[in-house]
Amino acid sequence: MSFEGGKLIWMNGRVVPWEQATVHVLSHALHYGSSVFEGIRVYKTPGGPKAFRLTDHMQRLFDSAKIYRLPIPYERDELIAACKEIVLANELKNGAYIRPIALRGYGDIGLAPQPEHPVDVAIAAWEWGAYLGADGLEQGVDVCVSSWQRVAPNTIPALAKAGGNYLSSQLISAEAKRLGFAEGIALSTDGTVSEGAGENLFVIFGDKIVTPSASSSILTGITRDTVMQLAARIGFTVEERAIPRESLYLADEMFFTGTAAEITPIKSVDRIEIGTGRRGPITKQLQDAFFGLFSGETEDSQEWLEGLDAPPVAAAGGT
């Protein structure tokens, strides 16, 4: 997975060249992890490029900021428009990944942020392919259960998509890759299954689909919610409950979900083959329904796809 970046970034109300979107080395977020962010995909569709659940993602950004008492100095709709603006400014007509972030900037270096502490907001967009590899979407990936657990309830709020939370994810993912796996799965503090380093997890036993509940220290993903709704449309019931680690090895199918991972099958856990060791039929049904939203084969009855209206694009360095 390579990262080439883009040409322009929306930052604090202006569109600036990519290399000029900088923060001070003494920014609060750099030292203490005080940022909240989102990841949003734009897909190529028969009706032109469409952002997937953009409004829902931006609402979660504001929800995460509320939990951390981080005042975003823009309205939600202003940032939705800015997301669309920066995709168009970078001429990303065939799909894009959008990364909005709000962070405590350069001010008092003390640990506890002050009400007047400055908050910077930036939105970048670039081309980004399959997070766990294009082959993984069809063939599946090999994963392991990490030695690192997710944070306990009432320590760091798992429901907030905050930068500091991802120190846990870095440990899980890095350990997995050192051991030769594509990704790691973390357990909750009670020893039951939580989620992947940056993905939610679904486990299938026969025709029963199970996923850990919000009480398992997970981020309740927007793609997770999408899959649950699509599964219901097809006729499956998704059960949210605790999942013992050992039951992973007995699953018939398993897959990750996430904005970056989309729907990625899992073919083995801890070198134990899952089902037939390849993408299963229910996983494929859900993938077809999900990607069908962008090809037009699945009805977008929830209006999850948002067109990129053409707002005026500020000149680099302008307002």
Residue 225 CA: distances (Å) to CA of 50, 134, 290, 297: 19, 23, 12, 20
Q: Of these residues, 93, 161, 177, 284, which one is catalytic?
A: 161
Is the distance from CB of 173 to CB of 198 less than 8 angstroms? Answer: yes
Of 248, 212, 234, the closest CA to residue 282 belongs to 234
Report the distance separating Cα 177 and Cα 283, nearest Å. 24
Residue 236 in tokens: 């499956």
Is the distance from CB of 127 to CB of 194 less than 8 angstroms? Answer: no
Residue 7 in tokens: 């040409």
Report the distance separating Cα 212 and Cα 67, nearest Å. 22
Report the distance separating Cα 85 and Cα 124, nearest Å. 10
Report the distance separating Cα 130 and Cα 183, nearest Å. 14
Helix/strand/coil (H, E, C) string of 86-140?
Answer: HHHHCCCCCCEEEEEEEEECECCCCCCCCCCCCEEEEEEEECCCCCCCCCHHHHC
What are the contacts of 232-240 at 24+ separation with CB within 8 A? 233/289, 234/285, 234/286, 234/289, 236/207, 236/209, 236/282, 237/208, 237/209, 238/202, 238/209, 238/210, 238/211, 239/208, 239/209, 239/210, 239/211, 240/210, 240/211, 240/212, 240/213, 240/214
| DSSP secondary structure letter of residue 31 | H
161 is catalytic: yes
Q: Give catalytic residues, as residue numbers.
A: 161
